[in-house]
Structure 1
């Protein structure tokens, strides 16, 4: 059974849902191409600082952001 590749929109929606379920209100989840850094994925919260992850392409940046968010959630659940 072949697995379809996820779109950028699906990845953003998944990250948004994960962040909203854990932290509450999320203002923004998105990605942009920065001229000097490369692709930057960002989650902006209402009550917390932003989370940022970089990557060589949009997909990698979103994967790195999801991994970073997952680590924070796991660390929070351990306490």
Structure 2
């Protein structure tokens, strides 16, 4: 029997929040919601609007949207570290 623990969307949200807090600071919230016209939307809202106020990503389901948002955050962090 496998004792592997599957990731939940809560785990994904916490990880995205930690990434944003570590690299951008002052993160208000990370969340996901369903929008009738777009579908599932994951969003990070920052306190100060120095560079950008928020980041969003959409997907077919909540998990997909959160994965895309995490990829986007990591890509931005990588760019900032290269500069």
Computed over aligned residues only, the root mean square deviation of the Cα atoms, in angstroms, reads: 1.2
Runs of 4+ in 1 over 3 A off after TM superposition: 1-4
TM-score, length-scaled by structure 1: 0.94
Match of 2:22 in 1: 21
Count of aligned pairs: 79
Residue aligned with 2:34, SS? strand
TM-score, length-scaled by structure 2: 0.90
The reply on whether 1:53 has 2:57 as its aligned counterpart is yes
Any stretches of 5+ residues in structure 2 without a counterpart? none
Match of 1:33 in 2: 34
